[in-house]
Structure 1
Amino acid sequence: MSLLAILLAYSLERTLEVTRNLHWRRLVLRWQHAQLNNTQLQQWRQNNLGQVLWALIPALLVGFLLAIFNSLLLSFLISSLGLLVAIQAPQARAAYKAYVIAQEEEDAAEQAYQLRRLRQASGRQQAAPVEHLLLWIHLRHYFAVMLYFVLFGVMGALLYATLRDMRHERSEGWQTLQQIMDWLPTRAMGLGMLLVGNFRQAAAVWLSAIGNKPQNNFIALTKIAEAAEQLTAQTTVALVKRNFLLYIVLIALLTIAGWL
């Protein structure tokens, strides 16, 4: 069922235009806004942990309801829908298409503008080349959601998407939380890239990324990708597609073996 839900959701994401009101980010922000408007939740508003717990309630509720009803058909439908709304990144997709057109037309001003849009869609504050932004967007909107879905079901995917998208105050604690939740997806995606890219060059870089000294996930991911492939915007897209297909095949094999 997991494999079918992934294939359905990721196929629909490319062909079906989902209204913004159904994007998980929009739903989470509305839920947080309800907290801000409720005077009885003043103490939760003033507590960072309380804000996080409040934001996680919708995802936890989805998992709770699926556990109560214990229906295979319902689980499949909710899982597919949950994945579909969690992986939405229309701004990034539109910005990349416009960037490619501007690149072909050698329009430097338009390229710079679309690069800023991509950076905004990626959630990065620092400037970065288009290849690195594409890697980060794919990791956080597609690969990590799929990985946590396989490991923990739709509730795990939605919990990750909530922490990715919720409104929050910038703090060292929040940065640590983001580092923790992206650590496993970064290393798993890096492993796939070295398997579908230049294994000999990328293996050492990947091993250093899982060593004792923690690395920034963004830096670790881009270093592995640069070792696995000579990156341009087009080759980066091709690399992440090969990586994604590799994991789809792996999930299919685990499903056939009865482990998923």
Structure 2
Amino acid sequence: MTLLSMLIALIVERLAVRGRGWQLVTYLQPYLRFCSSGSVGSIRQQPYFLFVGWLLPAVVIALLIYSVQFWLFQLVLNTVVLLLCIGSWHYRQQYKQFLNACQRDDEQAAFLCMHQMRQAQGAPELTYGPQLIWLNFRYYAAVLFWYALLGAFGAVAYACLRQLAEPMTYQHSSDLPAEDTAAVADAAAPEVETPAVAADSAPVSAGWRLFADDLLHWADWLPVRLFGLGLALVGDFSRTSAVLLQHAGAMQMSAPQLLTELSQAAEPVPEELLNSREAAVSAVALAKRNVLFFLALVAVLTLSGWLS
């Protein structure tokens, strides 16, 4: 069922999913507002509050799926949960606008689109290729890894942690880009701005983001190395495997930094083309091949009985 849920979710997300309704952040925002309100009382001051608040949605979802005995309903619930966890329509819109700007040779508009993605994700400033590979890792590869390992609980727990680390999560829902109109409209001049985080939510977002950033370093540690192994197999094996072995035991090295070195080794790009459309498209193709490798790995593990 694990492999089947993954395949269905990725196909549906690619072909049919549209709008904010299929993004986890849409449902996490009201939950965070509730956790930040006076309704929870003095429990907000407890040291374990952030940890419990982070895991509670994953526990509830896991119990709900576990309580359903019919396999078909379980498959549907798992697929829907996985769709929400990998939903990234906001970034898809901005990527399309980025490609549109590159096709017009509008470097300023292309840079603006990439800058908006960095701001919304709270990601470090990387060149175009590694930036998109990092986004693919956070929304696809890492979620699929934790789903394969811990089921819906793992996927929701990681996706919630990812969203807690993103500045976009703390924007008001009404400030987020329109769901379908921006994708259909001509992206000649990118109009999707990344709004500033509301002033009254700054203390709340700071606490959640600090908590999430600390945990994400360890939540990404193993998946990013498995992702690197995939990059070695679908890219330049000798160069990528050398980088992977060099940093295999680096406990403090950040995941974006490691992924940048791995992606540049897997598919080297001349320095003058690092911030070009060609580098971005090549990186996305590399990341897609890597996801296919991961699915093949899950299929092998499923057939061998390691996964159900």
TM-score (norm 1): 0.92
Residues 194 and 202 of structure 1 are in contact (CA less than 8 Å); yes or no, is this contact kept in structure 2?
A: yes
* Residues 213 and 21 of structure 1, relative CA distance in 2, 3 Å threshold: closer
Residues 31 and 55 of structure 1 are in contact (CA less than 8 Å); yes or no, is this contact kept in structure 2?
A: no
C-alpha deviation, 1:259, in angstroms: 2.2
3-state SS in 2 of match to 1:127 = coil
* Residue type at the aligned position of 1:101: N
Measure, in 2, the Cα distance between the counterparts of 1:46 and 1:151: 33
C-alpha deviation, 1:211, in angstroms: 1.7
C-alpha deviation, 1:116, in angstroms: 1.1
Measure, in 2, the Cα distance between the counterparts of 1:50 and 1:13: 33
RMSD of aligned alpha carbons: 1.9
Q: Does 1:257 align with 2:255?
A: no
Residues 122 and 136 of structure 1 are in contact (CA less than 8 Å); yes or no, is this contact kept in structure 2?
A: no
C-alpha deviation, 1:22, in angstroms: 4.2
CA deviations 1:12-64 (Å, max 9, x no partner) are 1111234414421121121121222343x233323463033123212211111
* Residues 224 and 150 of structure 1, relative CA distance in 2, 3 Å threshold: same
* Residue type at the aligned position of 1:34: F
* Residue type at the aligned position of 2:118: R
Count of residues in correspondence between the two structures: 258
Q: Does 1:235 align with 2:282?
A: yes
* Residue type at the aligned position of 1:133: Q
Structure 1: stretches of 5+ with no match in the other structure:
none
C-alpha deviation, 1:66, in angstroms: 2.2
Measure, in 1, the Cα distance between the counterparts of 2:125 and 2:118: 7
Out of 178, 198, 202, which is 2:236 matched to? 198
C-alpha deviation, 1:173, in angstroms: 5.2
TM-score (norm 2): 0.78
C-alpha deviation, 1:174, in angstroms: 4.2
Q: Does 1:131 align with 2:129?
A: yes
C-alpha deviation, 1:131, in angstroms: 1.1
- The alignment-based identity, stated in percent, is 30
Corresponding residue for 2:206? 169
Corresponding residue for 2:7? 7
Measure, in 2, the Cα distance between the counterparts of 1:36 and 1:172: 16
Structure with more of its chain in helix, by fraction? 1
Measure, in 2, the Cα distance between the counterparts of 1:136 and 1:185: 12
Measure, in 2, the Cα distance between the counterparts of 1:249 and 1:77: 22
Corresponding residue for 1:248? 295
3-state SS in 2 of match to 1:169 = helix
Residues 122 and 133 of structure 1 are in contact (CA less than 8 Å); yes or no, is this contact kept in structure 2?
A: no
* Residue type at the aligned position of 2:8: L
Corresponding residue for 1:117? 116
CA deviations 1:192-224 (Å, max 9, x no partner) are 001111111111110122225531111001101
Corresponding residue for 1:148? 146
Structure 2: stretches of 5+ with no match in the other structure:
165-169, 171-204, 270-278
* Residue type at the aligned position of 1:257: S
Measure, in 2, the Cα distance between the counterparts of 1:141 and 1:87: 5
* Residue type at the aligned position of 1:179: H
Measure, in 1, the Cα distance between the counterparts of 2:160 and 2:211: 16
C-alpha deviation, 1:163, in angstroms: 0.8
C-alpha deviation, 1:256, in angstroms: 2.1
C-alpha deviation, 1:5, in angstroms: 0.6
C-alpha deviation, 1:226, in angstroms: 0.6
Residues 187 and 206 of structure 1 are in contact (CA less than 8 Å); yes or no, is this contact kept in structure 2?
A: yes
Corresponding residue for 2:56? 57
Measure, in 1, the Cα distance between the counterparts of 2:32 and 2:125: 29
3-state SS in 1 of match to 2:125 = coil
Corresponding residue for 2:186? none
CA deviations 1:144-174 (Å, max 9, x no partner) are 1101000000111001001111364257654
* Residues 213 and 6 of structure 1, relative CA distance in 2, 3 Å threshold: closer
* Residues 211 and 251 of structure 1, relative CA distance in 2, 3 Å threshold: same
Q: Does 1:210 align with 2:208?
A: no
Residues 243 and 262 of structure 2 are in contact (CA less than 8 Å); yes or no, is this contact kept in structure 1?
A: yes
Corresponding residue for 1:74? 73
CA deviations 1:50-89 (Å, max 9, x no partner) are 0331232122111112223333222211110001011111
